[in-house]
Amino acid sequence: MDRTIDALREDIVQLVPRLRRFARTIARNPHDADDLAQITIERALARCEQLRPDSRLESWMFGIMRNAWIDEVRARVRRDRVFAPEEAAANVGGEHDAVNVLAIQSAMQRLPEEQRMAVSLVLVEGLSYKEAAEVMEVPIGTLTSRLARGREALAALLSEPA
Amino acid sequence: MIITDEILMAYVDDELETEARAAVETAIAESPELARRVARQQELRRQLRGAFDSVLKEPVPDRLIDAARRAPAGRRDAAVTDLDRAREKKSERTPRPWSWPEWSAIAASVVLGAVLSQTMLRPFTAEPIVARDGRLLAQDVLARALSNQLSADQSADARVAMGLSFRSKDGGYCRTFVLRDGPGLAGIACREGESWPVEVVIPGAAGATQGSEYAMAGSELPVALLKEIEERIDGEPLDAAGEAAARLDHWR
């Protein structure tokens, strides 16, 4: 049945950490990623009538985030970059793993955007191929080929001598 | 069974049906080479998650929680079962006049764009101000007035009364307006490309303007609006000639 708007808001609150994580794989610096997450939340609420009862909230919101990034935020981030130099991925927790984490994050950032999103949706967010294909608005075959190329590229980048 | 990279990937991603899955597992058991490939893929998955999972443990910025709890929401009262029905509903929706109850709750206080948009804007159609992507935009009668109507040359019964026009510190043109319909909103819109984002809206400025020959001069603007102008204005407001020239330039 239909969710009430208040329930939807609380569901979104619960989802914020994952929205931030997906945003972090899309936008390079954490501040841009949070801007992207915020725009996504605002758009989702403004269009909540379009959320179908049978679709998962996270898939729906990831789709909104992808579009927000493509339509709007990406261009702004590029423009702002003139003033705010790209930050290296920060706030990495672990100790012995930290180098590894940085290497993976930076390898991700070197993937073409469409591959990066496919990798992020399936490998990081754990979406099914079908869900990920819907988020990216492509056929499953396109999704799996991006995913395969993304994986290969990542594996190659990570095996490069440091 | 030949295990292609594609099948292997689907196996690692848990996308295979039971039978195919079993076949891959049998093949893996028989081939150390396949087992190594699978292990590498699983390791990549694990590493990727590990690299981004730290985000989940970071404190969430308040502004995101605020957005989730307070950003304006569209209508969800009618249960919409599919997108087609949603579209149908949209096209059926007719423009409605601004209704006082929506505004009265905040009429007493100064309401800036952000607060306003959080309180009550729904996806209106053909309303003078709409919320789009978290901002307020002038459209329809208001957008036309902002683009075309000069303060020095406007009829007393126009639906929108234009006030001051000025250059903002950002370099663009801003104009103040009063909507004579409904509760009479006064506000400031600042040109951005071809559109007029509304930066400030203040309700309850209508009384003075309705039906009167009201040529809004600076001194007659609500005080709160004056403060907003002061914050933005670069130099002096445009005179009649300056306004006419700006209009000729499409306010660019």
State whether residue A1 sits within 8 Å of chain B by CB: yes
Helix (H) or strand (E) holding B202: strand B198-202
pLDDT score recorded for residue B185? 79
Residue with token string 């608005």: A137
B202 strand-pairing partners: B186
Highest mean pLDDT among A112-126, B5-19, B153-167: A112-126
CB of B39 closer than 8 Å to CB of B46: no
From B52, B179, B234, B240, select the one nearest A154 (Cα to Cα).
Answer: B52
Q: Which of B81, B89, B134 sits opposite A42 (nearest CB)?
A: B134
Strand, coil or helix: A86 = coil
ipTM (interface pTM): 0.85
What pLDDT digit, counting tens, does each position of A37-57 carry? 999 999 999 999 888 888 899
pTM recorded for the entire structure = 0.55
Residue contact A123–B73, C-beta within 8 A:
no
Q: What are the beta bridge partners of residue B153? A: B150
> Is A115 touching B (CB cutoff 8 A)?
no
Exposed / middle / buried, residue B79 (Cβ in 10 Å: 0-12, 13-18, 19+): exposed
What is the structure's pLDDT at B69?
94
Q: Which residue has 């009829």 as its token pair?
A: B155
- Residue A158 forms contact with B (CB below 8 Å): yes
**Residue pLDDT, tens place only, A69-92:** 988 777 776 666 544 444 444 444
Burial degree of A55 (CB within 10 A; 0-12, 13-18, 19+): middle
Contact of A46 with B134, CB cutoff 8 Å: yes
Phi then psi for residue B132, to 5 deg, are -135, 120
Q: Check pLDDT > 60 for residue B220.
A: no
